[in-house]
A = this chain, B = another copy of it.
């Protein structure tokens, strides 16, 4: 299977908080990174999600927010990853920015060209990627 989400995290479920409609699922990767997803309770059942279950987390590039500069704001986005810009591909309206984390993982974000310019996003610049838990899709091998 090939998927159009540019960001894929492989790990195991480390925490599961149930709700009436939605559940919060924390996934921990082999390298120790964590990613939190909000999925429906129906998905928890159909995927058999439970602590220890191997899963993949998928995030599309337009759902990734980038930050640069001093960390003077705390965000509700549950997933936050610090790294350095590795590559920028500029289009007419949008640009694709690849962030390399300390452990070597890559995160790809689509931002507008205005953001690119205002934030000074260029190879080598330190940046943080934010991903809202409700924007994460989980998958389990069949």
Contacts and interface: CB of A to CB of B under 8 A. Distances in A.
Say how many copies of this protein the assembly contains: 3
A18 interface: yes
B65 A62 contact: no
Chain B CB within 10 Å, residue with most, of A5, A40, A94, A133:
A40
A96 B112 contact: yes
Contact of A74 (B18, B46, B67): B46
Contacts of A40: 24, 36, 38, 76, 78, 133
B73 A139 contact: yes
A46 B5 CA distance: 29
Interface in A36-64: 36-40, 42-43, 46-47, 49, 56, 58, 60-63
Interface of A: 1-6, 17-24, 36-40, 42-43, 46-47, 49, 56, 58, 60-63, 65-78, 89-96, 108-112, 114-115, 118-121, 130, 132-135, 137-142
